[in-house]
Amino acid sequence: MTAVMEAQWTRALELGVPVILDYGFWTRSSRNALRAKAALKVPLTLYALGLPDEEALWRVRQRNKEPEDKTFRLFRARFEPLEPDEGAVVVALKG
């Protein structure tokens, strides 16, 4: 998470403004860091939007107008799914 973004959302919480972060949080450590910062001010709810890989890949190809998928596969391999103990709300998306 960038420092600028963090400064903004933490300030919004201090002012009592609800915050929605549209950010990957692809690793358990990044989610834990978010929990530690947010827990000082408010309860935190993580939402996991799940989409089958082939549908996600199709969408990336359509958006980028390229058949290339190396970047998608590289980043997908780094993703750490939410574990049951993380208490996330999971939403399954369909193609």
pLDDT tens string 55-95: 988 988 888 887 777 888 888 899 998 898 988 888 878 76
Residue with tokens 């190396």: 70
So where are the chain's domains? 1-44, 48-95
pLDDT category of residue 29 using cuts at 50, 70 and 90: very high
Helices (H), 15-82: 28-38, 53-64, 70-78
- Beta carbons within 8 Å of 61's beta carbon, 6+ residues apart: 67, 68, 69
Give yes or no for a contact between 31 and 25, defined as CB atoms under 8 angstroms apart: yes
